[in-house]
């Protein structure tokens, strides 16, 4: 029986991936005298913003990071709410006394900006953010298991990336693949996590409730 449901943020809670990429292009490109492409940025995914920008901007990373935060906050005015149904799902889980966590590769600052914009700063029992050095999601899952004295089959993660599936397998937990964002690669998700890919929040909700 599942006792804790953890969610990814970008592409799962909200349509924020394109926003992140645009903020990187606009804020970091001037520091490297090159217009960043989406491919340049996506190749650094898995690290938090500090790690991503260090890889791209080198010695100019601190100034570029500050500019990124400012631009990310500004652009977030175009995305002020999570996906429809997400807040209701979290509320339903809480009403059933299920723990709800956020596990994201984002850094703490950008995570706080998004949760503030969405009005979700108090929506989670625990928040695990990313590292500038590595993808630490598997480590975060193990931390949650230890903190709440859970077995792996009592924790489920909802995330939108193939790397989320890999991290869940590393930690021995179940991954439900969120494929409701515009950026979702449904074909790759189905290939790596067949039978656990959901095109809508409501479909994921039905599966989650059956696991409780």
| Tens-place pLDDT, residues 154-192 | 999 999 999 999 999 999 999 999 999 999 999 999 999
pLDDT one-digit tens code per residue, 64-111: 999 999 999 999 999 999 999 999 999 999 999 999 999 999 999 999
Q: Based on the domain organization, do 98 and 176 belong to the same domain?
A: yes
Q: Find all residues with CB under 8 Å of 16, minimum gap 6, and list them.
A: 9, 10, 76, 79, 114
For residue 21, the Cα-to-chain-centroid distance in whole angstroms is: 14
For residue 82, the Cα-to-chain-centroid distance in whole angstroms is: 12
Q: Based on the domain organization, do 111 and 140 belong to the same domain?
A: yes
Q: What is the count of structural domains for the chain?
A: 2
Which of these three, 78, 98, 117, is where a domain ends?
78
Domain hosting residue 114, numbered range: 4-15+80-211
Which of these three, 61, 78, 95, is where a domain ends?
78
Q: Residues 28, 172: contact at Cβ < 8 Å?
A: no
Q: Based on the domain organization, do 146 and 71 belong to the same domain?
A: no
């Amino acid at each position: 029986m599942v006792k804790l449901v953890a969610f990814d943020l970008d592409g799962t809670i909200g349509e924020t991936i394109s926003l992140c990429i645009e903020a990187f292009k606009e804020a970091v490109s001037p520091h490297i005298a090159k217009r960043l492409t989406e491919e340049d940025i996506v190749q650094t995914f898995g690290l938090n913003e500090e790690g991503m920008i260090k890889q791209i901007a080198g010695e100019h990373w601190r100034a570029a990071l500050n500019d990124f935060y400012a631009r990310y906050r500004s652009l977030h005015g175009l995305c002020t709410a999570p996906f429809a149904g997400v807040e209701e799902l979290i509320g339903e889980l809480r009403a059933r006394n299920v723990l709800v966590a956020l596990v994201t590769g984002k850094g703490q600052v950008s995570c706080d900006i998004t949760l503030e914009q969405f009005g979700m700063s108090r929506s989670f029992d625990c928040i695990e953010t990313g590292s500038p050095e590595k993808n630490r999601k598997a480590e975060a899952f193990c931390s949650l298991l230890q903190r709440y004295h859970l077995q792996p089959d009592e924790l489920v993660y909802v995330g939108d990336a193939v790397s989320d599936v890999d991290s869940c397998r590393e930690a021995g937990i179940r991954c439900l693949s969120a494929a409701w964002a515009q950026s979702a690669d449904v074909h790759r998700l189905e290939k790596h996590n067949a039978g656990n890919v959901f095109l809508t929040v409501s479909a994921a909700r039905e599966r989650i409730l059956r696991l409780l």
